[in-house]
Chain A
Amino acid sequence: MSVEHASTRLIDAYARGDADIAADEVWALEAHLERCGTCRERLSAAVASEAPAVASLVGTVWSELEPQLGTAAAMPPRRRRTAARSAWMTPVMVPWVAGAACVVLIALLLEVAGFRAGFGEAPLVLLLAPLLPVCGVAASWSRGLDPAYELTASAPRAGLYLVLRRTAAVLAVVVPPLLVGGWATGVTAGQWLLPCLAFTSTALALGTVIGVSRACGALVAVWVVVVLAPTLATSRITFALQTDGLPAWGLVLALGVGVVAARRGAYSVLSTHR
């Protein structure tokens, strides 16, 4: 698109401060100057040649200002790294997610060392997989843990979008070590990934009703009672974790995602932050 620039006559007259320019012309010229660098440059050249009084005044102001500007601290450049990280994870989440990742690594080491503390055939990775991301999710959206919960909830970005973003960050940290663990112990990825995702989506879905941290606590309790305790008692992999149980986990995952989508509005008000 070709832009029409102001005429030299008009710019010179403006620089001189002529009173005979029509008001609408002044208005149009100023509006144009606001967005046109070329014409601003022409104006400053015109000021130097047409209005030496103005030029010397500007020169005096600059020479007085410069020493003061030299002493004022320059604004430091924005720290990209912090800004990018806090867009995905709040500082509160970091220790929780790091803790979850550490637990996976320790489980992995124990597994490699051939240590199975009374869990019989069940690999630790399988037993821990659903619990760990839930801890991270709890920390990401909780009134008790996150001091800035009310500010976050009142922001335009609050809501499902931010919750999913934080959940994705948790999964991105926790899933890769689990992947290595699953591969090292010979468990199929579906066997642990599906319960892991199903638990996360259920935590978010239940969270819209009773609050995310309560939901996470309840789910951890359910897991301990239904899966961990029977496994400890019988030293065998319970039905829930065998490959036959996968369709059920798939169903839970779909249900969780459905509920979260249907109740997404609940994430932008205060009550989810319990």
Chain B
Amino acid sequence: MMRAVSAADIAPKAYAWEIQATGLKVRAGAKRMAVDGLDLSLGTGVHGLLGPNGAGKTTLIRALATVLRPAGGSLELLGEPAGGTGGHRELRRRIGYLPQEFGYYKRFTVREFVEYMAWLKEVPDREIPGAVQRAVERVGLADRADSRMKTLSGGMVRRVGIAQAIVNDPAILLLDEPTVGLDPAQRLRFRELLQELGSDACVVVSTHLVEDVAAACTDVVLFAEGRLRFQGTPDGLAAAGGPGHVGDSPLERGYSALLSDSGQGRGSW
């Protein structure tokens, strides 16, 4: 099928970074400040968000998805302020989001679910069937598109989650722990998909698997206790570690070297 280039596709970008946070603070629950004074600028590419459990990765991703309001600082997504009140309707049409706990309706078929999500994301009615088919094919579920969600395996459900996130061709794609439940072959395929998506969108992937980052990400964001610890290429992360640090691969050694400066990662889980 031929897709005509629309005016929106060739419009010049009026912003330097897809995601720009300055002094961002986001609360998790009533008291705890899970993101505490974060300065971050992310452009096009695949960004791996690494950090120990409880570092505030999920809270940050939720704030980027505009479902949590920042408690302080400023957050600009696609050049628009994303802090204040209001539904951010325009902005959300250009964001794709896969939450950590991906909930779905068991009785829906894959196609029905992705169609429903496309409707929620205000994809124009005429484009919905085509967009759904493209998204389902990209995650390799075209042969299961008409089976009910409850008959799918865990990895397939995860892939439906990715399909619903990309159904609106987002400029910012937020994936919270997307590789959980994928087998090694699916994980390889997923990395390829990530690289493909990262060529023209800003993809943020939160993960605790260092090898995912090495294989698929153009950029690593190391995040602990609500603050930015390191931002750079995977090679830069590997270079931070020495032979004295804990870990099986250069990346893991770099990871533990950068975290151990603050007492994290050593003596605790």
Contacts and interface: CB of A to CB of B under 8 A. Distances in A.
B139 to A, nearest CB: 16
A234 interface: no
Contacts of A146: 103
A156 B120 contact: yes
Interface in B90-116: 90, 92-93, 95, 97, 99, 101-105, 107-108, 111-112, 115-116
B164 interface: yes
B69 interface: yes
A83 B109 CA distance: 12
A154 B99 contact: yes
Nearest to A79: B112
Contacts of B164: 151
Given A156-B121, A156-B122, A34 B108 contact: no
A172 to B, nearest CB: 19
Interface stretch (B60-68, B228-236, B237-245, B250-258): B60-68
Contacts of A155: 92, 117, 120-122
B117 A151 contact: yes
B88 to A, nearest CB: 7
B112 A265 contact: no
Given A75-B129, A153-B67, A268 B107 contact: no
Given A156-B121, A269-B68, A151 B87 contact: no
B186 interface: no
Contacts of B103: 146-151
B1 to A, nearest CB: 12
B19 to A, nearest CB: 15
A90 B105 CA distance: 9
A118 interface: no
A83 B68 contact: no
A34 B3 CA distance: 9
A159 B66 CA distance: 12
Contact of B88 (A150, A162, A267, A268): A268
B129 A154 contact: no
Interface of B: 2, 4, 62, 65-69, 85-90, 92-93, 95, 97, 99, 101-105, 107-108, 111-112, 115-117, 119-122, 128-129, 133, 143, 146, 164
15 contacts: A35-B4, A75-B129, A78-B129, A83-B112, A86-B112, A91-B107, A148-B103, A150-B67, A151-B164, A155-B92, A156-B88, A265-B86, A269-B67, A269-B68, A270-B62
Interface of A: 34-35, 73, 75-76, 78-79, 82-83, 86-87, 90-92, 146-159, 162, 265, 267-270
